[in-house]
Structure 1
Amino acid sequence: MDFSLTEDRRMLSDSLNRFLADKYGFDHRKNVAYDAPFHDTALWSEMCELGVLYALAPEDAGGFGGAGFDITTVFEALGKGLCPAPVLGSLLASSLMTSAGADQSSLLDGSVRYAVAIGELDAPYGLDDLETTFDGGKLSGRKSVVYGGNDAEVFLVAAKSGDTLGVYEVKASDAQVTGYGLIDGGGAAELFLDGAPGTELIADARDALEHALDLGRLALCAEAVGLMDATNEILLDYLRTRKQFGVPIGKFQALQHRAVDLVTEIEQARSITILAASRIGEDDQARIVAMAKNLIGRAARLVSEEAIQMHGGIAMTWEASVSHYAKRLVMIDAQLGDEDYQLEKVMAGYAA
């Protein structure tokens, strides 16, 4: 089976990789990822002009992609470039707006920034225990760790209306938004809704929300593959150049074996991400995506820990790029359901 990119996806990948290398280099990333708004808003506009967000939506929704492999193409490049731009929130919002048949032209061209508010303090991952409510055109509740919410203009909020779980559109100006930076760069927010006016986007949204979350998990898997590739390149370069006892430390067989083990882990992560991308839209989508996210969580942690250990103390410093890649790799596991949560989903699927 041929897993090579189509011509359109290859062009998008090349353009985005070149853009990130030229304009979102490591030094620039350090300067913008940890201070509000936690990404470069000017470069956000340029990135949107490249068509990055259009690649995340299908043609009938105004985009030119939307398939699993379009998502992985974009997010693998974002991972390699360690880019903190809030593309994940845009992907989730685009998926929900596609399900609703809503106009998303302002989202896709980047002129309006959207964020999706699902998780809560007592329900960080799943949909069953959400407490936010919609009644009489008003939303009440609190949403936690809303990715990209720190400078979003519109929120799509998952809330209960009676026994039904819906999605409602809320303007940031009508809610209380407390933004903050994440430990691995990029921004998020707590969203406080105290009778905030909302407009119904999807009345019965459980399936649409589950699909959007699956797409988000696939995106994180692809981002992790890009991150692991870049981390491995940094590590190999260090092993070739760092000398001890008069020879490069990469000559030591023990480190060679550990480096080879990492390549195996990365290729397994890449393979299951490809499998998950191929299953988007299929009956077993949720199970395969959960399997991928579970494996990615374990592999990403191993790659980050091994890269730091083989670098030694320098890898713990702010100036070393490997430390920033390692933080992002570890934190990806916590987003949209960690490895334990994904394992429970897989087990429940088999039991059913």
Structure 2
Amino acid sequence: MAVLNEEQSMLKDAAKSWVQEKSPVTAFRKMRDSGVELGYDAAAWNEMAEMGWAGVIIPEEYGGSNFGYLSLGLILEELGRTLTASPLLASGLAASSALILGGSDAQKSEWLPKLAEGSAVGTLAVDEGPHHNPEKVEATVSGGKLTGKKTFVLEGMAANVFVVSAKEGGEIGLYLVKADGPGVTRQRLSLADSRGAANVTFEGAPAEKLEGGSALLEKVLDRARAGLSAEMLGAATQAFETTLDYLKTRVQFGQVIGSFQALQHRAAKMFTDLELARSAVEAALAAIDNDTPDVPELVSLAKAKMGDTFHLVSNEMVQMHGGIGMTDAHDAGFYLKRARAAEAAFGNQSYHRDRYAKIHGY
């Protein structure tokens, strides 16, 4: 486990206390059953913003704390444990990263303070088909107007500003588009994990370019992937711990089922995979903080490993809980559905294995 400084330890402890008290899985169940359009509890998001979580990576001059990506990853991990739905990944990490890395002084001044205080929500609009493929961009910009369609945009219904990938003169770049501006329409999606997402159509929407081109797009996506991996780590860890507790208490055939060697071996497999995944995730976040050249390969390693691990642990959670694990009354199904949605977001295991191989020249 990463060695944390005092600020990071305080952030992690605060996040752990808050999710246990204010945002247990029962709160997620209540949000899902309410059918709220945003896909998250707005009051809970306001509390997170008041605690400064939305501005963890944002520089102090724009209202943030500039604590870095590993610090934000610690918060996302705790939120993942209880499946807390919020725009923190999309807005406090992805959109904020785009502005920090590629925004002009005017763009930063306009948006970063709002994102830091949670009064505005930003998100990435990158994919145009059913699978993650940022290299395939049909959206175009001409004369400062953006036209195109984006699919599976996280927090797409809540966003005040979109960071959109588009081509201008054959070059891929990122552009800021105000959600309430002309030429923007969105369609709410109902995803398996009950999170907020939308398909967004831009028809001549006014767009402001961010500096950095396709290199900026990859940097921003890698930060989003690392943050999502941290959230997946928290969810997978909680799923494992819940299952382990069940193995220690469930009695079948006159004895605790955790005494069966076959189940012990499966539990050991989950534990070792989680430890490896944690190392990969923390290495990726630390590399981003240190701006090392191996960020792309470490991020793809983390996302692929975390996807495999969360997939395994969520499956085992359902199977080891038996009949009750198959019902909606139990939380196991929530973790399995979140695993599948998170695996697909920002590139699944196949995508990142392929990317990792290409980075190494294969």
Check whether TM > 0.5.
yes
User: Offset of 1:3 from its aligned partner?
Assistant: 2.3
> Quick check: 1:152 aligned with 2:153?
no
2:356 to 341, 346, 352: 346
Q: Deviations over 1:81-113 (max 9, x none)?
A: 211112221111000110114120001100011
Identity percentage over the alignment? 35
2:198 to 189, 208, 213: 189
Match of 1:63 in 2: 64
For residues 44 and 316 of structure 2, the distance between their equivalents in structure 1, rounded to whole angstroms, comes to 33
1:94 to 92, 96, 113: 96
| Matched residue type, 2:243 | L
Q: Helix, strand or coil for the counterpart of 2:149?
A: strand
Unaligned runs of 5+ in 2: none
Q: Helix, strand or coil for the counterpart of 2:311?
A: helix
> Quick check: 1:169 aligned with 2:176?
yes
Please tell me whether the aligned partners of residues 166 and 173 of structure 2 are also in contact (alpha carbons under 8 angstroms).
yes
| Matched residue type, 2:155 | G
User: Offset of 1:204 from its aligned partner?
Assistant: 4.0
CA root-mean-square deviation = 1.7
Please tell me whether the aligned partners of residues 86 and 186 of structure 1 are also in contact (alpha carbons under 8 angstroms).
no
For residues 42 and 156 of structure 1, the distance between their equivalents in structure 2, rounded to whole angstroms, comes to 25
Match of 2:217 in 1: 209
User: Offset of 1:223 from its aligned partner?
Assistant: 1.1
Match of 2:21 in 1: 22
| Matched residue type, 1:256 | Q
> Quick check: 1:111 aligned with 2:119?
yes
1:243 to 251, 276, 291: 251
For residues 256 and 263 of structure 1, the distance between their equivalents in structure 2, rounded to whole angstroms, comes to 10
Q: Deviations over 1:50-93 (max 9, x none)?
A: 11111132446542235331232121111112111122211110
Q: Residue 201 and residue 105 in structure 1: after superposition, are their counterparts in 2 closer, same or farther (change >3 A)?
A: farther
For residues 128 and 116 of structure 1, the distance between their equivalents in structure 2, rounded to whole angstroms, comes to 15
User: Offset of 1:342 from its aligned partner?
Assistant: 0.5
Q: Helix, strand or coil for the counterpart of 2:199?
A: strand
2:242 to 234, 238, 253: 234
For residues 278 and 37 of structure 1, the distance between their equivalents in structure 2, rounded to whole angstroms, comes to 32
Please tell me whether the aligned partners of residues 151 and 179 of structure 1 are also in contact (alpha carbons under 8 angstroms).
no
Q: Which moved more, 1:50-59 or 1:175-184?
A: 50-59
User: Offset of 1:128 from its aligned partner?
Assistant: 2.5
Unaligned runs of 5+ in 1: none
For residues 211 and 253 of structure 2, the distance between their equivalents in structure 1, rounded to whole angstroms, comes to 68
Consecutive aligned runs of 4 or more in structure 1 exceeding 3 Å deviation? 58-62
Please tell me whether the aligned partners of residues 176 and 210 of structure 2 are also in contact (alpha carbons under 8 angstroms).
no
Q: Helix, strand or coil for the counterpart of 2:56?
A: helix
Please tell me whether the aligned partners of residues 32 and 39 of structure 2 are also in contact (alpha carbons under 8 angstroms).
yes
For residues 254 and 166 of structure 1, the distance between their equivalents in structure 2, rounded to whole angstroms, comes to 52
For residues 224 and 269 of structure 2, the distance between their equivalents in structure 1, rounded to whole angstroms, comes to 28
Please tell me whether the aligned partners of residues 297 and 356 of structure 2 are also in contact (alpha carbons under 8 angstroms).
yes
| Matched residue type, 1:141 | G
1:178 to 161, 172, 187: 187
With the length of structure 1 as denominator, give the TM-score of the two structures: 0.94
| Matched residue type, 1:93 | A
Q: Which moved more, 1:26-35 or 1:53-62?
A: 53-62
User: Offset of 1:197 from its aligned partner?
Assistant: 2.1
User: Offset of 1:27 from its aligned partner?
Assistant: 1.7
Q: Deviations over 1:270-320 (max 9, x none)?
A: 111122122211111101111111111111111111121111121121111
1:330 to 333, 336, 340: 340
| Matched residue type, 1:187 | G
Please tell me whether the aligned partners of residues 151 and 199 of structure 2 are also in contact (alpha carbons under 8 angstroms).
yes
Q: Which moved more, 1:170-179 or 1:259-268?
A: 170-179
